[in-house]
Chain A
């Protein structure tokens, strides 16, 4: 499984990104990632979530996952991040620079 994650926007407007390959990660890390992506039902999530009607300085997330010949990208602004996707985002943010 190949993961590319980036976070932009926020008050600082900084870009933070990380690319991870489960083949090169320690086994337990790879399993954890896989579980989080499955728990979020990632491949069934819409590509784009509706933009928040109000609010400003939210983070903007873009996550692409490639697995078994399938590739899916999700774009979502902070307040619309589904609860089941949040653990995955938080995990990826710990690795992102």
Chain B
């Protein structure tokens, strides 16, 4: 290989491909850190550790005239590299002002919103990378971009298809939108869902999209706080309301409809069961996507608590594995069937985990239809048609 040639690997391989690379080099090259550990650091350490490890490996490879180990690391580096950028929208509103002015060293900023957005995005990257083996939003290591101070007294955070955007809140009802780490996980997950499932953002597929963002937003919070499923508060947007609002958060995944009840803002409208599903016109919240998400939210919650332990380890993996199987028009029933199927593949048909998924959806009034039963029903219908 030429001296300065990069190793080009198919993007579909990514870090997972690189991780499968057999590490054959066991002998210590330099100092007390063996090269296989150095390679791990080069792949998974923080920025400083990676730079140090890569430099060390590079020097040692040069000394020993071997390039194989270095090549392995070099292949893994671009894929495993975490890239997070913050921008200041300078209180301007409108897509044409995004992303805004680049902020230097966001991790050490004195601006709380900048720091929270950086740390939240970083923790979300880590969760997707370490738990779900995903390399950033697109699984190809794309830079995670956040714009802060969007608009004036702007009461929202959103994903615009390319980046996350956060308002400062009006200070009357809302604090800054970075204050709650699950909001950051929620927004970033919209990007992941867009790449994996492409769920239409309206009506039931939109509510499912919203729920997936709440699920991984809550998992992020639980992972950062090191909480097991039965220890978590399962709240979305805790701390986002000012003290003037009578409410603990924006949504409760465990008890949808109970997050707030305020004289000015009204009562949390989320249903907790299909019996209370709200058909809404498209002009209202895209057909109630932030309303009906309460139903699949609760299904996940019940599943995770039923399984026990850390929710991201099993329930989270089942939901993540389901993402790429959903299509644009998937509804709650489709999600129920596919999470059940994914649980069977990950943990075995009839496993405790699969039964927990069934219980989760049963609780909200959705009966899982196993794929074998669907196939039999389809075969029966076809046979009936030919008779």
Interface residues of A (CB under 8 A from B): 8-15, 51-60, 62, 75, 77-79, 83, 86, 90, 97
Pair B284/A11 contact, Cβ less than 8 Å: no
Specify which chain A residues have a CB less than 8 angstroms from the CB of B156 in the assembled complex.
Answer: 10-12, 57, 59
A97 to B170, CA, bound (A): 13
Is B157 on the interface with A (CB-CB < 8 A)? yes
Nearest residue (CB) in B for A61 is B283
Is B41 on the interface with A (CB-CB < 8 A)? no
Specify which chain A residues have a CB less than 8 angstroms from the CB of B290 in the assembled complex.
Answer: 9-13
Pair A56/B285 contact, Cβ less than 8 Å: no
Specify which chain B residues have a CB less than 8 angstroms from the CB of A52 in the assembled complex.
Answer: 161, 201
| Contact with B155, one of A10, A60, A90 (Cβ below 8 angstroms) | A10
Chosen A-B contacts, 16 in total, with CB atoms closer than 8 Å, are A8-B284, A8-B285, A9-B289, A10-B290, A11-B290, A13-B289, A14-B266, A15-B284, A15-B285, A53-B161, A56-B158, A56-B194, A56-B210, A59-B156, A60-B286, A75-B283
Pair B285/A58 contact, Cβ less than 8 Å: no
Pair A14/B158 contact, Cβ less than 8 Å: no
The A-contacting residues of B in range 237-266, CB under 8 angstroms, are 237, 240, 250, 264-266
Is B358 on the interface with A (CB-CB < 8 A)? no
Classify chain B's interface size: 35 or more
Specify which chain A residues have a CB less than 8 angstroms from the CB of B240 in the assembled complex.
Answer: 12
Given A11-B250, A79-B95, A55–B283 Cβ distance below 8 Å?
Answer: no
The A-contacting residues of B in range 164-189, CB under 8 angstroms, are 174, 177, 183, 186-187
| Contact with B159, one of A12, A57, A86 (Cβ below 8 angstroms) | A57
**Given A9-B285, A52-B161, A58-B158, 12 additional A-B pairs, CB 8 A:** A8-B284, A8-B285, A9-B284, A9-B289, A11-B177, A11-B183, A12-B155, A54-B160, A55-B159, A59-B156, A86-B93, A90-B93
Nearest residue (CB) in A for B265 is A14
A76 to B253, CA, bound (A): 29
